[in-house]
Amino acid sequence: MHRLPHAARLSSIACIAMAFSTPAAAADFNPADTSVQMFRWKWNDIAKECTNWLGPQGYGAVQISPPHASRKLDFWYDVYQAVNYTRLDSRMGTEAELQAMINTCHAAKVRIYADVVVNQMADGAGTGTATDGSSWNAATQSYPHFSAPDFHAACVIQGGDYSLADRTKVTSCRLNNLPDLNTGASYVQGQIRNYLNKLVAMGVDGVRLDAAKHMAPGDIAGFLNGVSRTTKAGEPLWFTQEVIPDSGVKANAYLATGSVNEFHYVYAMKEMFQNVNGAAVADLPRFMGSPSTGWGGTWGFIPSDKATVFINNWDSERGEHAPSSLVASNFTGVPNDTQGTKRYQLANVLMLAWPYGAAQVHSGFRFTRSEQPPPATSPFDANGKPLINQAWDFIHRWPEISNMVGFRAATSGQGVDNFATGTRNQIAFSRGNKGFVAINNDPAAWTTTQATGLPSGTYCNVINGQLNAAKTGCSGDAVVVPANGAIKFTLGSVNGATVPALALHANQKVGASASRSTKGAN
């Protein structure tokens, strides 16, 4: 949840008018192991990327920015200042374009998850100036479908309120002075329910509930009662909640209604990769636990099947949140720090290799000031070629991250074996007999011999390449695993020019074919 002074987050509540599409069958989708947050990407551009990259690369879902009608501001967060939930004409496109994007992504085997906010409304006032032409007035609490009786009293959340045992102010007062809907009222719950059902009827496969900590768990359970929990494709509706933890708010309180964004994971990754408080990547099993020892660890992680994890999102790479998360330094306008970028890349590799939570890659845009709006330019040139690392960062296409999507799918259901360390910044482990990963977050190179758990054969190192179409060789490094499964290798320094990691998996074995269970993965 964005807490910057101007930031007002909002997303969802709408009503009926349903645009139906022909749903994809659940069996036709890519494995759901990895999704990507396509922050502020327009619907037409996401549709193109689903067809050209996300589908073929094996991504299971795209999480889109809030699709409701919102206030127009010259800031990245204006889509979180909702005005009208019944109309889905947004900064990212029209309702018709949203429907077309859903259909196109489904055809490419990619699900759609919608980011929604239902506890606040836009600040200020405007006449016919919202993205759909709606009018509103925050002073009189007048919005399409909402009026003053639908809101909580006009108190404001203060910093100290988060540590109180009585959480009433956090769930009933205004965040950033935004009018706060009474999500416990039956009428308001009905509007939220209508909005969510509309999205599901359009083919949306999942929902991320923004600012869940600012709603009582009982309120969330109330408006979910009556929401279709089965998608048009026949899968359970994916539902995750943003709960940034503090001394008075714990993620466990929200597990009854769905999974939760595990921000402890974000903080732990930063500490391990930047060696904060003496931490290092070797602390991984101690920090979060493992499949064999159970989840929790010293950070108190929630169970894996209830966690959504990421290295950063649009909030955590900006403003007051940035010091608590790992971000590549060149995203924020400071001089490029090769080591910082490598650590960010390695953290994503580790997230996709370690079997905890539902993993989300973040892909957004470059900025030089915290509140900067997204680029006006398309992510593609006139010929449809992606403009990578220009205005839009295209992190989801960075090979060391994108190729790990297939690793996560291929190793799904496997445990962690052969965990080993060099220095405390150097780790290696296998995933059953399906995958092997080694990471060097150290300023010194690492030469070592490690057990991979893999059957003998030649494998592509997906950090820098993949199998060719004929499956006879690799576009990058090839690694020969002997009969005993142990390999000797050298990883360069984290200060070097290449990503110091090695990742091998069963579906990238020269001469082998993908197993049925990982169809669509690389």
Active-site positions? 210, 242
- Is residue 459 within 8 Å of 364, Cβ to Cβ? no
What is the three-state SS of 452-511? CCCCCEEEECCCCCCECCCCCCECCCEEEECCCCEEEEEECCCCCCCCCEEEEEHHHECC
Do residues 178 and 120 make contact, with C-beta atoms less than 8 angstroms apart?
Answer: yes
160 CB-near residues (< 8 Å, 6+ apart): none
Where on the phi/psi map is residue 233: left (φ > 0), alpha (ψ -120 to 50), or beta?
alpha
CA distance 350 to 309: 12
**Residue written as token pair 């399409």:** 144
List Cβ neighbours of 408 (8 Å cut-off, separation of 6 or more): 33, 34, 352, 353, 359, 521
- 109 neighbors 59 (Cβ within 8 angstroms): no
- For residues 407 and 435, the answer to whether their CB atoms sit within 8 Å is yes
CB 60 within 8 A of CB 29: yes
**CA dist., res. 433 & res. 174, Å (int):** 52
By CB neighbour count within 10 A (0-12 exposed, 13-18 middle, 19+ buried), where does 516 fall?
A: exposed
**Residue from 23, 511, 2, 368 nearest 213 by CA:** 2
